[in-house]
Chains A and B, each alone.
Chain A
Amino acid sequence: MSLVLLIVIGVLFAVGFHLLLQRSLIRIVAGFVLLGHGSTLALLVAGGPAGDPPLLGRVRRGPMTDPLPQAMALTAIVITFGVTAFLLALAYRSRVFLGEDEVPDDVEDRRIAAEARRGDYDEEGGG
């Protein structure tokens, strides 16, 4: 296996995770796309060494690459595209409603965290 590919995969995942931990939704989308690239490449690399395309009835120069990871990678790419579009729509919606395309903190969680102690038991809270 190729060391270059390993390094590329490592960097793609590293940058992808770092961007995923940001608050800007566009950065998160970018991180997601990079993670998608990393995973696709990792799938192919895990399938074995490089070789001839898995096409039958052709002149072969060497061994054929494993077709199964390629099939997986292909659908992974298309699904990444669909999900990326969905994330983008989410980012846009967030901008329309909140005025920014950032992930805000969960208001309810923040409220609970901020309260030193909740007051009397609110029976309706049981509902």
Chain B
Amino acid sequence: MVTLVVFHAVVAVAVPWALRWDRRLMALVAALAPAVTVLWTLRQAGTVAGGGQPAEMIEWVPELGLVPQFRLDGLAWVLLLLIGAVGALVLIYSAWYFPAPPTLGVGVLVAFAGAMTGLVLADNLLILYVFWELTTLCSYLLIGGFAPQDAQARRAANQALITTTGFGLVMLAGLIVLGQQAGTFTLSALLADPPRGPATELALVLILLGAFVKSAQMPLHAWLPSAMVAPTPVSAYLHAAAMVQAGVYLVARLAPAFADTTVWRPLVIVVGLVSLIAAGWHALWQDDLKLLLAYGTISQLGLLMVLCGAGTRTAALAGPALLLAHGLFKAPMFLAVGVVDRTYGTRLGSALHGVGRRMPCLGLAMAAAVASMAGLPPFLGFTAKEAALEAFAHPGPDLAVFTGVAAGSVLTVAYGIRFLQGAFGGDVGGTGDKPPSRRAFSPAHLRGVLTAGPRDPVPGLAWWPIAVLSAAGLLAGLIPGAWQDLIGPYADRFTAAAPYKLALWHGIGPPLAASAAILALGVGVYFTAPRALHEATGRLPTAQGGYRAALKTLFAAAHRLTRRTQVGSLPAYLAVIVATVLALPGTALVAGLAGETVPPLRSGGLTLWDDPVQAVLGLIAVTGALAAMRMHRRLSAVLLLGAVGYAMVGLFILHGAPDVALTLLVVETLTLIVLVFVLRRLPEDFPRRRRSRRLQFLSGLLGAAAGAFIASLLAVMTLSRRDPPVGPGYVAQARAEKAGNVVDAILVDLRSLDTTGEIGVLAVAAVGVTALMLAGMHQGRFERPPQDPGGGRWLAAPGPPPLGPPSVLLAITARLLIPTILVFSIYLLVAGHVQPGGGFVGGLVAGSAFVLRYLAGGMRELAAALPWHPNVLIGGGLGLALLTGAVPWAVGGAFLESAAAEWTWPLLGHVEAPSGLVFDLGVYLLVLGLVLSLLRSLGTSLEEEPDVPDASRGEAR
């Protein structure tokens, strides 16, 4: 069963892709997937008829009840046969129907067939829900996906999605409550030992709501008529034969356990009867044949609801039989409307005249389908309807249901005839409305229609699916015993006084008399239904109106909420975040300090300074930061920022963190350079503050409060610390790894997975900068310059430097220093194992060598200096680091497990190369690549003036 579902998924993806060059072949091959379902189902027939229930399961997350369990019983068998058969035939029909290769359509149709198969076979509430929503998604794609440019189609797709998923969520809530009550999400276990109580009743109401919407029951049916904008194969499969029957299926599935609860019967029977009668009445007046069929479907689903939810054995026999019959007669009716629509360009009854004379075979097939729908013997519809009437033919409250079912069936007969008259009636060349005509009941006239020429051809790919489905309705009616055997085990879960059997002949009794009366009354209603009554009912509030009103209210509420909360100003949002930090943890801290509920602070932990120099450096940092805040010139602010950074370097050294200090030193320099690169292209001064003084003061106050909060929080947390830190543990581990520099050992060895993530962030940042700066720019900017024999004396290909005039001094400095810097960077990389250094610093230092070269010689010089594109370095570095991790993995170790190679070389002596060094080399290359990438995007690309920033550009965005 799992294989069956997976097979659908594979076909849904592979076939449309592989056969996209031939629309016919694509649809025909795709039809194999549901055809396999049919074959598999038929092979299981013997087991199921014997009462067997084949089951399969996958242990996935048993703790959460997420165990994909599948089970096949009689009810599922009938539905599965229908899904497979109609699916295969609809796909064959699609091979004719779609003019362009329907890659999306065929794929989603197959996916839908798979989802439906999973839904029917699921033996777990949550798995069932997943497939349930998958069918909804398929429906959404199939309604809207064929004509995304058509507003009506989009609207219909949205309506179907919003309504069905909205109530699907309601159903999910019900399913969860039910599962919690039962203590299991396994459907079969839950049905064997059903929970009871108020919570269960509530859960059932929620589940029923979901089922009603899925089966388009009134008053929540509005999405189904709207969905008729979808192509005919979709309407035939999803909105007649398969998806809409899912709600009925769920009701039938739960009925054996829950039909006796207080809420179940009243709800199911009232909603079902209302839908049966009201939608049947509505169908009678539709001129659009698809709409007529849509309302007819709602009506039939109402009848199915009543039967499947009634909870008696006879009704439980009638329900699945009618489910099958409905699929077999409704699907070909839709397909036939598609043929008529395609051939004559309309599907309005009032515009079709004499189609019966042009396509007599199609008319005959439709007559067979309508006969099954109306319940004419010996069609399957007759057998099912006999059982349905028998189920309620008892005195008492059942009699009211009996009357309702009979009334609905009368309307069914009436709109069935109207469908035939609308699609096939009238004379060739006629115009306007076709009033009910007695001619249709005269054999002589009909013989004349069938033998009249000339004919319009019906293509084989379109004809055979219709013919097979219509004939199946007749053939299936001839073997009621088989259905009795298959549905029997399901129906036998209900207790019954008299064992009823599905059959064509039960003797003369109330059901047969009722059937005859229904046919006669139906013909009567067809001729005499008062139009005035239709116009009166047309003035009642419609479900579509209700949907629109609900949506309008929702949008208005969203609009109001947005207006209140989304002011659109980034500073305002940030201020809210900062204020929240102050309001919640901030007040808690103050209250704790005031009430002395914080842990006792270590006395003597706080000193004025660790070293007098610290005070000096601290003063520089504080002054620099405050001054940077007040500067009006951008460059001054940036330079002050640099002062703060270098003061930080000193503070780190004093604290005993040489690695951090070294890194910050290089980063600070590079940041400064990059900032200056960008400032080249920005106005000298900051724009004038447009903000009021009060707001500015408020922002300062907020910042000061936040700063004070963080400083005091840090003091409290640090001074109240009791547990020993984990850091010293790493010292011991580093010693075991024979590393000298503990920080580097942590980075490249002990916690190298973290470092992998961090260099990943760097790579993303570099790509982001490149994308932002070079988007829409001319590629090839970084090409090597042609060999210039008259190159400079000191540099390879000197050009105009980016900042200031050409300087020989700078060129000489660059020439002399660059090799030294590069060698030093490699020393830092290698020495990082025992000394301050490592890949980060090494890469940054190497990058600064290229920055120097760029500053001296401009972009041509930089391009000449680079052996590779920066992106190659970034990708290569990341790849190398990941490879170092993956190699121990491949040989059976853990990801990033460290190892060391040792060997003795002549002259060099004993050499030890830990795998951490290779990892560090990856970091080195990546960081170097980052710096070069920034040089390229922020440096060279900014050498030319940006495009004129005028207002029209802003609007164009």
A residues less than 8 Å from B524 (CB atoms): none
A113 at the interface (CB under 8 A from B): yes
Establish whether residues B655 and A65, one from each chain, have CB atoms under 8 Å apart when the complex forms. yes
CB neighbours of A12 from chain B (8 A): 621, 625, 644, 707
Q: Which of B637, B768, B840 contacts A78 (CB 8 A)?
A: B840
Residues 897-927 of B contacting A (Cβ, < 8 Å)? 927
* CB of B835 within 8 Å of the partner chain: yes
Q: Is B200 an interface residue (CB 8 A)?
A: no
If over half of B's interface residues share one DSSP class (helix, strand or loop), that class is named, otherwise mixed; here it is helix
**Chain A binder among B39-47, B52-60, B730-738, B810-818:** B730-738
**In this complex, what residue of A is CB-closest to B159?**
A126
Cβ-defined partner of A70 (8 Å) among B162, B657, B766: B657
Contact A3–B714 (Cβ < 8 Å) = no
Across the interface, do A97 and B710 meet the contact criterion of CB distance under 8 Å? Answer: no
Residues 711-723 of chain B, each 1 if its beta carbon lies under 8 Å from chain A, else 0: 1001101110000
Q: Which residues of B contact A23 (CB under 8 A)?
A: 570-571, 690-691
Q: Is the CB of A97 within 8 A of B954?
A: yes
Contact pick for A55, options B671, B725, B741, CB 8 Å: B741
Partner of B651, one of A5, A77, A115, A123: A5
Q: Which of A34, A42, A70 has the most CB of B within 10 A?
A: A70
**B765 to A, closest residue via Cβ:** A82
Given the complex, which residues of B lie within 8 Å of A9, measured CB to CB? 707, 710-711, 714
Query: Would you call B725 and A40 a contact (CB within 8 A)?
Result: no
What residues on B are CB-neighbors of A88 within 8 Å? Answer: 674-675, 678, 769, 938
Q: How many contacts A-B (CB < 8 Å)?
A: 368
Q: Is the CB of B654 within 8 A of A24?
A: no
Instruction: Tell me whether A112 and B702 are in contact (CB under 8 A).
Output: no
B302 vs chain A, min Cβ distance (A): 28
- The answer to whether A121 and B551 touch (CB under 8 A), given A15-B625, A26-B637, A33-B671, is yes
User: Are the CB atoms of A97 and B654 closer together than 8 Å?
Assistant: no
Shortest CB–CB separation between residue B771 and chain A, in angstroms? 9
Q: Is the CB of B702 within 8 A of A18?
A: yes
A114 to chain B, nearest CB (A): 9
Within 8 A of A (CB), among B656-677: 656-660, 663-664, 667, 670-671, 674-675
Among B217-225, B491-499, B610-618, the stretch in contact with A = B610-618
Residue of A nearest to B767 (CB): A86
Q: A50-B654, A78-B927, A98-B954 are in contact. Are A92 and B681 (CB under 8 A)?
A: yes
In the bound complex, CA of A111 to CA of B656 (Å): 54
Q: Is the Cβ of A113 less than 8 Å from the Cβ of B567?
A: yes
Interface residue B20 (Cβ < 8 Å from any Cβ of A): no
CB B48 to nearest CB in A, in angstroms, measures 44
A68 CB to closest chain B CB (Å) equals 4
Q: Is the CB of B951 within 8 A of A54?
A: no
> Is A86 within 8 A of B769, CB to CB?
yes
Q: Is the CB of A126 within 8 A of B746?
A: no
Among residues of B, the one whose C-beta sits closest to the C-beta of A81 is: B667
Q: Which residues of B contact A50 (CB under 8 A)?
A: 610-611, 654-656
Chain B residues positioned under 8 Å from A27 (CB to CB): 637, 686
Smallest CB gap from A80: residue in B: B667
Tell me which residues from 5 to 41 in chain A have a Cβ below 8 Å from any Cβ of chain B: 5-24, 26-27, 29-30, 33-34, 37-38, 40-41
Please state if A82 and B629 are interface contacts (CB–CB under 8 Å): no
Q: Does B742 lie within 8 Å of A13, measured CB to CB?
A: no
Residue on B with the closest CB to A37? B648
Min distance, Cβ B147 to any Cβ of chain A, angstroms: 14
* CB < 8 Å neighbour of A13 from B706, B766, B835: B706
Also in contact, A99 and B951, with CB within 8 A (given A5-B651, A82-B761): yes
Of A1, A14, A100, A124, the contact of B719 (CB 8 Å cutoff): A1
- A51 CA to B715 CA in the complex, in Å? 18
Q: Known interface pairs A10-B708, A70-B660, A123-B155. Does A1 touch B715 (Cβ–Cβ under 8 Å)?
A: yes
Pick from A10, A53, A68, A126: contact of B730, CB under 8 Å? A68
Residues of chain B contacted by A125 (CB below 8 angstroms): 555
Query: Can you give 16 A-B contacts (C-beta < 8 A)?
Result: A7-B618, A10-B711, A22-B699, A30-B641, A34-B641, A41-B651, A54-B743, A68-B725, A69-B727, A75-B747, A77-B663, A82-B762, A89-B938, A106-B569, A109-B568, A112-B562
Instruction: List 6 additional contacts besides A79-B758, A118-B556, A121-B552; criterion CB under 8 Å.
Output: A4-B618, A13-B711, A34-B625, A44-B655, A89-B768, A97-B949
Q: Which residues of A contact B (CB under 8 A)?
A: 1-24, 26-27, 29-30, 33-34, 37-38, 40-42, 44-57, 64-71, 73-75, 77-86, 88-93, 95-103, 105-110, 112-113, 115, 118, 120-127
Closest 8 CB pairs of A and B: A14-B707, A109-B568, A18-B703, A10-B711, A66-B727, A82-B765, A106-B568, A99-B949
